[in-house]
Amino acid sequence: MYASEIVAVGMAVPDRIVTNDDLSKLMDTNDEWITQRSGIRERRWVDAQTTTSDLALRAAERAIAAAGIKKEDIELIVMATLSPDHDFPGTGCFLQAKLGLAGCATLDIRQACSGFLYGLSVADQFIKTGMYKTVLLVGAEVHSKGLDVSTRGRDVAVLFGDGAGAAILKRTDATNSSRVLSTHLHAEGAHAQELWLPGPGMNLGAERVSRAMLDEGLIYPKMNGKKVFAHAIRRMAEVLMEGLAANNTKLEDIDLFLFHQANLRINEMLAQELKIPPEKVFNTIHKYGNTTAATIPIGMSEAVAAGKLKKGMLVASAAFGSGFTWASALYRW
């Protein structure tokens, strides 16, 4: 029997730091308002030339180097993003070309904030079945180019940052203690329009894109913040406990919690409801904002660098996002 092990991670964020005070020059907001509601103090935004696959490439190269493997060892690229370089083909193809890996399979995951954990589940299954030995899993986003940075769009615009995180998964023996123990995935499409990007699209009349869509701001993300907040706490708690039950594990057995970074208040309330000690929750949202599919691998990378994530630790991750989708994973580092 096979299992998969996360053997290395890497991350990449733009050099440009955008503070809450910087945003106050673009829209009617201020540092206190943003920080109180989200815990975010700054985020990174790309320059005009940088794409999602560019950030993905940097993160991937760092993960490959940290894993001590040759890039040619990679047999599958799983790319999680909701901000693709182009509508098609998948961004994984552009990443593959930049890595110089002609021939290996690529697969894009479009499950927003749950994308990395969905991708982890996909990579884990491919390895468990024996189809692949080495998989590159990437979560990458460039949100800044698709935000309404006026007062009209401030409720969403202040939350998001750009960044990428990558993980190398390798086949290991199922008896190896360091492995992905289980993943758990869910969705509820009835709530899709509570957090979504209306246009452009094929469900908006005769034209995929029109002047009216631009004038109405349909090309910018829309969110029912209160509903997302409430569902996120409930669903993340449920799916986290589902993962623990599947592995006959208790909350106190977990050494570190790496949650999706959508809003610090969500993670604080989740920890409070489940009585998780704050020191066991590793957060990065205060300096990177919500990088969607990239938040968990960025958290992994930062936690390793900070000495908070060490070999042998039992780790639990959970995420909630657009779709609605939610997911969890339990893994031994």
For 250, the token pair is: 């208790």
Q: Decide if 143 is catalytic.
A: no
CB 145 within 8 A of CB 46: yes
- What does residue 320 show for φ and ψ, rounded to 5 degrees? -145, 140
Instruction: Please tell me which residue in 20, 263, 283, 290 is annotated as part of the active site.
Output: 290
CB 262 within 8 A of CB 294: no
7, 140, 156, 194, 239 from 188: Cα distances, Å: 32, 23, 22, 11, 13
Q: Decide if 260 is catalytic.
A: yes
Q: Decide if 191 is catalytic.
A: no
228: helix, strand or coil: helix
Instruction: Please tell me which residue in 143, 260, 263, 283 is annotated as part of the active site.
Output: 260
71, 134, 158, 198, 300 from 64: Cα distances, Å: 7, 11, 32, 37, 15
- What does residue 204 show for φ and ψ, rounded to 5 degrees? -125, 30
CB 303 within 8 A of CB 245: no
Q: Which of 118, 116, 3 is nearest to 56 (CA)?
A: 116
Tokens 């790319």 found at: 79
- What does residue 227 show for φ and ψ, rounded to 5 degrees? -70, -40
Instruction: Please tell me which residue in 20, 104, 113, 267 is annotated as part of the active site.
Output: 113
Residue type, 71: K
Residues classed as catalytic? 113, 260, 290
